[in-house]
Structure 1
Amino acid sequence: MSTKPSPYQALPFSDRCRQVWGLGDHLLIGVSPGNSYFSARRIAELIDWGREFFDAVDVVYADLHVDAQFEAFGHTPEHAGRRAAKEIKTTARRIERGVEQAGPARVGVHALSEFLVEPVYQRLRAEVEAALREDQVFREAAEGMARSFLAGRLPAGVAAEAGQLAAGLRYICAELPFFLDTPALLGRASSISCHHIELPLTPVLFGRCEGLRAAPAQGYAVVRPAQAAGVAEAPGVAEASETLAA
């Protein structure tokens, strides 16, 4: 076990996710446009940190349905398209700088739109759409995730309108294939998708025995700065990190 303090702490969602982590095959870092958490420095740190535990690291950023969100908040289609293109371009440049800062080891960088023609992505996306129609537990969690996502664009205490919620759901559904089966999408034996918070859909995709859920080789972990996590505020995080660093 390394004695060097880790800049990040990891908490796999379940025992199965911890087992997938222990395989050390692949880490997926998902980046959303407009999310200030993912600075170039943060991306570089996450890549460096991920290389300690995984054979490969990939970054995927969302570039689908961003314009629909701006339209749902009252922008004309033309203005929404320009705003979305600017946000996506800024995100891509930030990732590029982060990868450069992380050093010479190869890191895969992908836009979601690259996968639209892939049969695996199309199948997984169809499964997500079917679950939205047929699985109430999944739909409620997805709507909760969309509301959380949209809250940053709304005044405090204001709930999303129906059109805004629908736009948020389309955006989230485009990302969900990578929470379901990244190994199939990227040709890896197993994979951990990471985020700095537990998402409302995490217990649904990784914690239940029925309905739409992640593939056996797909795991999920909350990964956040060690100084921000704090053992007192987040019991079990430090303990889990020690296990993972072994």
Structure 2
Amino acid sequence: MAAETETFSVRPYTSHCQVIRDEGAHAVIGISSGNSYFSHQRVTDLAAWGLRNFEQVDLIYTDLYITEMYEALGYGLHDAHRKAVKNLRGLRAKVTNAVAALDPDRSRLRGRPLSALLDNPAYQQMRTSLDHLLATDPAFLRVCDRLVEAFFTNKLPDCDPPTGRQRDVCLAYVCAEAPLFLDTPAILGVPSSLNCYHQLLPLAELLYARGPGLRASRNQGHAIITPSPQGDSHGC
């Protein structure tokens, strides 16, 4: 097994998310493209943390709408495609290496791109529902609009507002990831699942609110997992 260099602090978003964390059935750890936070060692350390705390772990890296996002930020089509290919090649290697080092038989640890879920019936159903909600649910649309504005803040010259094209690409990216925030158990066939990321999920406030509306399933949880100082075992 590869040597681990980091321990992690874990903050479940709600008390019910803590219950799901304590169950330890499954964790999905999201790995973002183009994010320097996800070094080779950190991806391996996150996977090792997952295996210590959960029966099954999925490392899922985003590979959808990457070229389109670079285009939206002003790159030409050729350069956008080249950057996307380079970033995804490196990301795939980090995930593949972590699985090979920690669980070569893949009995408990799996690594896959988000695009591998596109043919999954539960994923497809949720994705269709999200497209409908964008057109019909004001609360969901408001949250998505805030996400678009936050993403493009300081990324556009002179803080210009996002164009219609930029907004559409960003929303497509958000909606591609959102099913894993809503109901990973239905998609991957696990009893419960904790979605783990180093930042608060952008939809968390909406998904874990009380009352009607777009909500995470009862078997879905979210936790913020961040590196803790060496020797601090909190959250392990």
Q: Would you say same fold, with TM above 0.5?
A: yes
Q: Given the alignment of the two structures, is residue 12 of structure 1 paired with residue 12 of structure 2, yes or no?
A: yes
In 1, Cα distance between equivalents of 2:116 and 2:68: 19
Spell out, residue by residue over 1:170-216, the C-alpha distance to the aligned partner (whole angstroms, 9 max, x if none).
11110111111111111101100011111331110122321111111
In 2, Cα distance between equivalents of 1:153 and 1:103: 39
In 2, Cα distance between equivalents of 1:127 and 1:208: 20
In 2, Cα distance between equivalents of 1:158 and 1:227: 39
For residue 207 of structure 1, give the secondary structure of its aligned residue in structure 2.
coil
For residue 89 of structure 1, give the secondary structure of its aligned residue in structure 2.
helix
In 2, Cα distance between equivalents of 1:22 and 1:108: 21
Spell out, residue by residue over 1:78-97, the C-alpha distance to the aligned partner (whole angstroms, 9 max, x if none).
44333322222221112223
Name the amino acid aligned to 1:73: L
* Cα pair distance change 1:156/1:89, threshold 3 Å: farther
Structure-2 residue corresponding to 1:129? 131
Q: Given the alignment of the two structures, is residue 138 of structure 1 paired with residue 132 of structure 2, yes or no?
A: no
In 2, Cα distance between equivalents of 1:135 and 1:72: 25
- On the 8 A contact 1:144/1:200 being kept in 2, the answer is no
How do 1:73-112 and structure 2 match up within 5 A?
A: 73-102=73-102, 104=104, 106=106, 107-112=109-114
Name the amino acid aligned to 1:172: V
Gap regions ≥5 residues in structure 2: 1-5
Task: Give the paired residue count.
Answer: 228
Name the amino acid aligned to 2:113: A
In 2, Cα distance between equivalents of 1:178 and 1:25: 16
Name the amino acid aligned to 2:144: A
* Cα pair distance change 1:151/1:109, threshold 3 Å: farther
In 1, Cα distance between equivalents of 2:78 and 2:121: 31
Deviates more, 1:151-160 or 1:197-206: 151-160
For residue 208 of structure 2, give the secondary structure of its aligned residue in structure 1.
helix
For residue 52 of structure 1, give the secondary structure of its aligned residue in structure 2.
helix
Match of 1:189 among 188, 191, 211: 191
Cα RMSD after superposing both structures: 2.4
In 1, Cα distance between equivalents of 2:88 and 2:154: 17
* Cα pair distance change 1:156/1:110, threshold 3 Å: farther
In 1, Cα distance between equivalents of 2:90 and 2:104: 22
In 2, Cα distance between equivalents of 1:128 and 1:197: 22
In 2, Cα distance between equivalents of 1:96 and 1:58: 12
- On the 8 A contact 2:149/2:162 being kept in 1, the answer is yes
Structure-1 residue corresponding to 2:72? 72
Spell out, residue by residue over 1:25-77, the C-alpha distance to the aligned partner (whole angstroms, 9 max, x if none).
00101111101111111111111111221101101111111121122233343
Structure-1 residue corresponding to 2:31? 31
1:154 to partner: Cα distance: 3.8
Structure-1 residue corresponding to 2:54? 54
